[in-house]
Each structure stands twice: as structure tokens, then as C-alpha cells.
Amino acid sequence: MIRSGSFHGGSIGALTAQDVRYTRNKAGTIVYAFMLGWPEGAVVLRSLGSAAQTKPGRIEHVELLGSSLPPAWRQAPEGLQFTLPGHRPAIDFAATLQVHLAA
């Protein structure tokens, strides 16, 4: 079982790509989605959907930090759907998306 809050001993080993943490810049124009494992295949981030209760707004652009290859993505009502490029950046145990929101 993973307890909420800071990391507790061996619980970090149980984290996967389904464990996502979010933060944003001060202007509120960029959201960073940290997946605590490397996602395989298609992924949906429900918090960034056009119909999400979080009301993120329209997404203009998505980048995978550490990579020059862009992820394939689209924003749908149920979430931000994306697939990462086959090449992993230097860090292969987690992935961070930089999500640019429309002004």
C-alpha cells in the first residue's frame, strides 16, 4: 500500500506510470505532469480533459521534457490522450510532460 504524502521507505518501488503528480507555473499557462514510471502505450490523463472538473482549458502544445521528439497527443473530453515517442530520454524510469494551455 502506498501512503499519501512524502515517500515512505519501500513505497517508492511500487510507483508506476499511473501515479501522476501535477504542478504549474506561476502564470498558470503551463502544467507539468510527472508520471512516476515510464508509460507504455497510450495514456489518458483525465485531469486534463476538456470536460474535466479541474477545467484546464484548451491545450495548445505538449512536450516530453528531455526529448526533442514530440509525443502524439490530442485533448478529448475524457482526458489528454498521448503516446510517448519510442526513444526515451536519459531518465528512463519516469516521464514529465510540459502541457501548454491556451491563454
Pairing outcome for strands 72-76 and 79-83: antiparallel
Residue 8: pLDDT band with limits 50, 70, 90: low
| Cβ contacts of 57 within 8 Å, gap of 6 or more | 101, 102
Pairing outcome for strands 59-64 and 20-24: unpaired
Domain layout of the chain by residue ranges: 15-101
Class of domain 15-101: mainly beta
Tens of pLDDT, residues 49-89 = 999 999 999 999 999 998 888 899 999 999 999 998 877 77
80 contacts 95 by C-beta, under 8 angstroms:
no
DSSP E strand boundaries for the chain: 20-24, 30-35, 43-45, 59-64, 72-76, 79-83, 95-101
The pTM assigned to this predicted structure is 0.82
